[in-house]
Structure 1
């Protein structure tokens, strides 16, 4: 994802912690405050019997990224937090339609500039303390605090002016302008207990794994690089009742052990995400259901625009035109993807084919390099070692070699790649995975996550000061404020044309993410187009 991905002027350790597990892309230790003792990662999932047995899930991303809901882009942590925490509103994991969670109802007028929420009567945190309006204000104050840099700030600060307490169980949100998309974004503001996270050092503990929410499951143990366990919260009285008495989520980044854990007669898990395409037939033959979700998951290229010749848009375009993306989809993705025709995937409601589409055109690539005066170019691709990205790299290298660009592949651990980015080390090109759908579907959110004057990604590219970039950021902000939905969509599509033309940070392919589960044991599973699993509507078969 990074999960895995990024935002502005955050101290490097925190930046890395939310970048690191996000779908591809911290440091953690077992916390006494959230650990209930060791849980074996070899749990077969048959602990207990009948409906009291443990559900075991295998997640293909690390559990050692930040668990702070205001900071994280970790695929594992975000998926887990959806079971541990609640927003005022939460969203369906597939349609992303908002529904009441801690809030008692969805505001009747999405275009209003004031939204009032009552807090669900009887809602309690996992330590037994009641959820109050003070807790809601506490979280939003942190997100909107100009002196505190969080990833969540980028999703709220542009349109949300503030949140105030009306009474002990009522809060009011004041918007800067009508912004209906804000309703679905409220799930990104997970409500956390002020009495826990206002303590000195508590935010650092949250990064390392401390999780105390009001959701249907409470965290019982957290072992970075191993597993995290949960159990049903018996005092939960919200809309998504826990169906499993206990859950054990294993982190297995390597594909082979992940597939082995869910397959065969001795399978120790009932569900796994991030299934390699090559393993689908064998898993289906073994009686498992394998389904994919297509969305914003993508392999992108990111250029260092302060490193010549990548400051020249013609060079960036040439390297994109050179890529045989159809072959990449056919060979590496086994048909489970599409070459990018826009920054947005083709299933996004705001998608429009960009004016610049990088169809495979080696002759055009050579002509652009010649026009830029570039000869004998040598490029090292700094790449994350996510399995499907690694599968795509040979096609990338062969494509560039074919136009006379001598290409070296340098795949590394995702954390190592983005540590170098945080340390502002020199590089030429990064190839990595990203999926903003972890946060939502609306195009405004997706584009501001990747582009913006204070955005961490733009810091990595060293492009934010470019005159084209400054005009782009102004156009993006104007689109955010546009009240007419059709006009707003057109404005977004127009500035995405600029993003496509500039090719500073741009997808090569969008691909499906595959989830496998045993339908003889689980029902209610829906494959989602972003990393992790959502088990809030699942149950034992």
Structure 2
């Protein structure tokens, strides 16, 4: 490998983003490119999912869980030269909470009562109510610190404080980053990083084989990974990820307003058989909206074991006529489209006709996540500890349970580990009973990497691909 080549690396990514502003759109593709590369938050999660300081050097939390005092890193500047300080923190958090905000986690920020600045490098955040996950949520890209001078244009030309600066974006093809030689922390090892986007797993595999792509974290077709295990050029690894594959239901619409219908769908699907049919190494049935590596995970998958006769009886009881037609919107991801065919076949057996509609990511985000115009969809939630989305009646699947909302409020209002665990189990039990969505499967993260690359994360505690420590081995 020529010396110049050792300064450059190309990575494969599954989802082509429609914008590069992570505070305006929930797409995983944005986070893979920007998290810990262009943008940084006050805190971060490391590869093991542990909370670490970042733009905040340290913090203290009041005993009542309402007041957070942050000491900020000194001598930090944005890529446009704007200084990072407490006023930046105030601007960012107030912007995320504003009535006109489109931040995917807007509800988190609207719990902020005030942000004050005792000094340039001290920020004081007061919450309206205790929120035990606040520090972890500040590590998500939704809480990336933004320069007031560039926040409005980050969608096309992102400017952050991170170890890489934005260079170029070929829509639908690639994003190129260059090393930030003025970075406040340890400089990145690579000079240039290119993220290439693939919607076709075969094209992704061919790009790896042909040397056009050097590494593919979260390879989109794990069942194809065996072709690389015998190739001495590559290492294939399996890591943990908060992957929660769902058949998401629009609870606002008939017939899903009826609990019996949602339960019927859970009985109608042979989820163990589906996981086996997908032939993805390490996949297994998911028992709640927590990933199995979460210490609070409780498996309720046996509550609705495969029983098509029970499903038909519940549908009849709910007045759902045989031949009822429902639309299933599928994003352009291999697992979703393969699973969609299986779901349609199983539901056909209990009298529901499924019309499959395949859409691209921008259409899915607009139609499903934005306008809530869907019956069913198959999607993986990859954010860590995001069970709180079920407390949001305005979320895309429209689940509205006062019982769950009370449980989640109690969960966030306590810092006691035993109480939080018990409440986490109770929340999962409520979801298992109510079936707002059908929990399908967990899929581990499969990474295909050139053997002489080091520093890439094996585990994925949140959608990310931090590149500062990645390099070619000598």
| Residues 1:76 and 2:29 are matched in the alignment | yes
Partner of 2:114: 162
C-alpha separation between the residues in 1 aligned to 2:306 and 2:359? 27
Partner of 1:128: 81
* Contact kept? 2:223, 2:281, Cα under 8 Å: no
Which of 345, 350, 363 is 2:291 aligned to? 345
CA drift of 1:101 comes to 1.5
Q: How does 1:13-32 map to 2 (within 5 A)?
A: none
CA offsets, 1:234-280, max 9 Å, x none?
11122x531111111111122111111112xx312211134212211
| Residues 1:490 and 2:422 are matched in the alignment | yes
Q: How does 1:120-519 map to 2 (within 5 A)?
A: 120-158=73-111, 160-176=112-128, 178-188=130-140, 189-197=143-151, 202=152, 205-207=153-155, 209-238=156-185, 240-263=186-209, 266-275=210-219, 276-287=221-232, 288-354=234-300, 357-380=303-326, 381-421=328-368, 424=371, 427-428=374-375, 430-437=376-383, 441-442=384-385, 446-453=386-393, 455-458=394-397, 461=398, 463-464=399-400, 469-519=401-451
CA drift of 1:378 comes to 2.8
* Contact kept? 1:356, 1:500, Cα under 8 Å: no
> 1:164 aligns to what SS in structure 2?
strand
Q: Summarize the Cα distance change of 1:293–1:311 in structure 2 as closer, same or farther, 3 Å threshold.
A: same
C-alpha separation between the residues in 1 aligned to 2:387 and 2:32? 22
* Contact kept? 1:513, 1:529, Cα under 8 Å: no
* Contact kept? 2:132, 2:412, Cα under 8 Å: no
Partner of 1:56: 10
Q: Summarize the Cα distance change of 1:299–1:96 in structure 2 as closer, same or farther, 3 Å threshold.
A: closer
C-alpha separation between the residues in 1 aligned to 2:12 and 2:63? 38
Q: Summarize the Cα distance change of 1:357–1:435 in structure 2 as closer, same or farther, 3 Å threshold.
A: same
Please report the RMSD computed on the Cα atoms of aligned residues, expressed in angstroms. 2.6
Q: Summarize the Cα distance change of 1:130–1:416 in structure 2 as closer, same or farther, 3 Å threshold.
A: closer
CA offsets, 1:151-181, max 9 Å, x none?
23223333x3322111122212223455453
Segments of 5+ residues of structure 1 without an aligned counterpart are 1-45
Q: Summarize the Cα distance change of 1:112–1:325 in structure 2 as closer, same or farther, 3 Å threshold.
A: closer
C-alpha separation between the residues in 2 aligned to 1:243 and 1:109? 39
Q: Summarize the Cα distance change of 1:540–1:98 in structure 2 as closer, same or farther, 3 Å threshold.
A: same
C-alpha separation between the residues in 1 aligned to 2:63 and 2:193? 36
Q: Summarize the Cα distance change of 1:521–1:212 in structure 2 as closer, same or farther, 3 Å threshold.
A: same
C-alpha separation between the residues in 2 aligned to 1:171 and 1:530? 26
CA offsets, 1:14-56, max 9 Å, x none?
xxxxxxxxxxxxxxxxxxxxxxxxxxxxxxxx786264x3111
Partner of 1:43: none
C-alpha separation between the residues in 2 aligned to 1:420 and 1:282? 37
Return the TM-score normalized by structure 1.
Answer: 0.79
Q: Summarize the Cα distance change of 1:111–1:424 in structure 2 as closer, same or farther, 3 Å threshold.
A: closer
> 1:261 aligns to what SS in structure 2?
helix
Return the TM-score normalized by structure 2.
Answer: 0.90
CA drift of 1:230 comes to 0.8
Across the two proteins, how many residue pairs are aligned to each other?
A: 467
* Contact kept? 1:342, 1:351, Cα under 8 Å: yes
> 2:246 aligns to what SS in structure 1?
strand
Q: Summarize the Cα distance change of 1:221–1:370 in structure 2 as closer, same or farther, 3 Å threshold.
A: same
CA offsets, 1:493-530, max 9 Å, x none?
21322222222233222222322111223345424265
Partner of 1:22: none
Q: Summarize the Cα distance change of 1:350–1:536 in structure 2 as closer, same or farther, 3 Å threshold.
A: farther
> 1:357 aligns to what SS in structure 2?
helix
Q: Summarize the Cα distance change of 1:531–1:331 in structure 2 as closer, same or farther, 3 Å threshold.
A: farther
* Contact kept? 1:56, 1:250, Cα under 8 Å: yes
> 1:194 aligns to what SS in structure 2?
coil
Segments of 5+ residues of structure 2 without an aligned counterpart are none
C-alpha separation between the residues in 2 aligned to 1:426 and 1:58? 31
* Contact kept? 1:384, 1:411, Cα under 8 Å: yes
Q: Summarize the Cα distance change of 1:49–1:156 in structure 2 as closer, same or farther, 3 Å threshold.
A: same
* Contact kept? 1:114, 1:172, Cα under 8 Å: yes
